[in-house]
Structure 1
Amino acid sequence: MTYQQHLKNNIQSCSKVFDSIDRAKDILAQLEQMTLETSQGNYPDMEIVAEKTNALRNSLDQILVGLVEARVG
């Protein structure tokens, strides 16, 4: 693998990580809002909560994968 190809792969992997971080931040903001609503007695649909936490888990996995891929090249 050439240095240029390694650098290109590294940049693509890091870009995926940043995208996953942005998704995770968005999901956390939504979960925070759901928690606030819960504290006020407005209970969210548990199916939606489960979907959000699963999506957050997926984003975290993608962050790990992207960082490993960036290191390996």
Structure 2
Amino acid sequence: MQRKHELKALAGNMIYLKPVATSDLPDEVREDAGSLGTVFAVHNTEGEQVALVANEAIAADLAAQNDMQVVSVH
């Protein structure tokens, strides 16, 4: 997991969420996802993926812990 200052350096003050079907993930990541059908990719303002989380609530907690705002991408 990223530390507060590391995540902020990667993402500015916003992170973007994008739903990802677990079937589209590499095998080792899909195994970690267990029975989840969808996970959420967390992207910084440059579009770089910085994390995968199980749900939007975890992303919101991650953002709050790092003084950031979550923006969904459709």
Common fold by TM > 0.5: no
TM-score, normalised with respect to structure 1: 0.29
Higher relative contact order (CA 8 A, sep 6+): 1
Normalized against structure 2, the TM-score is what?
0.29
Structure (1 or 2) with the greater strand fraction = 2
Structure number with greater Rg is: 1
